[in-house]
Structure 1
C-alpha cells in the first residue's frame, strides 16, 4: 500500500504516516497501518495481507477467508478500523466526522462479495482517497494534527510491537 499511496497522492497535498502505534486510555495500544492527512479528511487505512477468496459485508461482525479448501473467520475490518478512527479522534481532539475509514486487501485476495466503496485493492483505494475534493480541514490544521500525532505515537521498535501483541493477546482472553 505504501507504493500505491506514494504513486497516487502528491506530497504537497497529502501527509502519510505508516505503522503508527498509539497509547489507549486503558494502558494498551492500537496499531494503525497508514494514516493519510489532507484537507479532504484524515484517512485511516487498515491493510489486510490475505490471499484467497474474501466474503463479508459491512454489517457482519465476522468475515470469511477461503483458501486451499479451508475457511477462516476474521473480524470485520470495517469494525476494527472504526475503533482506530475513534481512538484517533479522542487522542487528537478532532471531530470523528473528519476521519475516513479505508480497508485495503492485497492483490492476492479475491473480494467475492459486493464491498463498500472504501474497501478494495491498493491502487483503487489510493484513487478512492484522491477522489475526495471538498476541503473539510484547514491546511494549517492538517499540518498541526499530523505533527501532533507524530509526537504522541509510540516509538517504532520491536519492543513496541511486542507490547502491542501482548496487549492484543490479553484482551482476547
Structure 2
C-alpha cells in the first residue's frame, strides 16, 4: 500500500534520535561538573550521585551554545585594533552567556528590617486598649450628657408645674368645657371665654365661661381639682383632700356670685331680668364629692345638658343684640382689662 512506502523510511530516519539520550547544553554540563567537584568529598551523597548520573547520561556530546553577536546599546563600542604588520583586524570572540551575565545587574539584597523599638512595641500592644478606653469614655460622655439633659428637663418641668401647674390644669379643664359647649349647645348660642369685666367696686374680675341665649345667661366657674371635695352650699370654704393632705379653698359658689353680679352690672340687668343670670360651677372628672352638692354644681360633661334644660324665653331680640354688643366690647378690650386685672392682684 502507498502509506507503507512513506511511513517506513520516516521510522528508520527518526529511530536513532528516539533511542538516544537527550543531551544538555555546554552551560548545563559545566554547572553539573561544578556540582560534582563541589561534592567530590562526599561520593555517596545524593547531590554527587545525581550530578554524576546526569553528566554520564546527558553530557557525552553536549550541545554547543550558538554564537551570536551581542549588541550592547548602553556600553560604548571598544576601539578596533589594526595590525600594522599584517593589516588585519583582530577581534576577540565574545561568549554570549558571559556577556549576558556581565550585563545583568546583580540582585539587590533587601535591607534588613530595623528592630522595633521598645516604645513602638508597647505602643502597638496598648493601641487596642487605648481604642477601647476611648470608646468607653465616649459612651460615658454621651450617657452623662443624656442624664444631664434629663435632669434639666425634669427640673424645668417641676419648676413649671410648681409655678404654673394650677393655671395649666385650669386651662385644660376650661378647654374641655369649651368642647362640650360647642358640641352640645345650639349654634345660635353665643359663647365667651375668659372675659375680664369691671365690678361695682371699681376692680375687675375674670369670668371663665359665659353663654348668652334667649333662655338665660349662664356664668360658669371651672375647677380642676383632684381628690375628695368636702363642703356645703353656704359654707365660706370647701376642703380638698388628696391622700392625707387637706387644702381649703374658697366656696366656688361664692366666688362665682361676684362674677354674676359683674355680668348683671355690665349688661344693665335688674329685677326679673337679673334672675335670668344663672351661676354654674363645673368640676373635672377627677374630683369626687363627699357631700350633697347643689343642682348648679356638676361635672364638666353635664354642663351642656344642664343649660339645655332652660327652654323658657326670657329676653327679647333687642335685648339680645344689646347684650351681644356689650359683651363683644368687653371681649375686644380683654387684653387691656386683663392687664389691669393682674395689676390689681400685684398691688
Question: What interval of TM-score do these two structures reach, taking the shorter chain for normalisation?
Answer: 0.7 to 0.9
Matched position secondary structure for 1:18: strand
1:123 aligns with 2:298: no
Picking from 164, 167, 170, the partner of 2:344 is: 167
Deviation at 1:23, TM superposition (A): 2.2
Deviation at 1:51, TM superposition (A): 1.1
Of structures 1 and 2, the one scoring higher in RCO (CA 8 A, sep 6+) is 1
Number of residue pairs matched by the alignment: 168
**Structure 2 runs not aligned, ≥5 long:** 1-176
Cα displacement string for residues 136-169 of structure 1 (whole angstroms, at most 9, x for unaligned residues): 1123422320221221346344x65454244246
1:111 aligns with 2:286: no
Distance 2:228 2:341 in 1: 28
Alignment check: 8 A CA contact 2:235 2:251 kept: yes
Picking from 181, 184, 190, the partner of 1:8 is: 184
Structure 1 residues 23 and 41: CA distance shift in structure 2, 3 A: same
1:82 aligns with 2:257: yes
Partner of 1:43: 218
Alignment check: 8 A CA contact 1:56 1:63 kept: yes
What is the TM-score normalised by the length of structure 2?
A: 0.46
Deviation at 1:113, TM superposition (A): 1.3
Deviation at 1:25, TM superposition (A): 4.3
More helix by share: 2
Matched position secondary structure for 1:59: coil
Q: Bigger radius of gyration, 1 or 2?
A: 2
Alignment of 1:63-82 (within 5 A): 63-82=238-257
Alignment check: 8 A CA contact 1:32 1:84 kept: yes
Deviation at 1:67, TM superposition (A): 1.3
Alignment of 1:44-63 (within 5 A): 44-63=219-238
Cα displacement string for residues 73-122 of structure 1 (whole angstroms, at most 9, x for unaligned residues): 11111111111111111121012212000000111211221111110111
Say what the alpha-carbon RMSD is for the aligned residues.
1.9
What is the TM-score normalised by the length of structure 1?
A: 0.88
Alignment check: 8 A CA contact 1:119 1:125 kept: no
Partner of 2:133: none
Structure 1 residues 164 and 154: CA distance shift in structure 2, 3 A: farther
Partner of 1:155: 333
Alignment check: 8 A CA contact 1:37 1:43 kept: yes
**Structure 1 runs not aligned, ≥5 long:** none
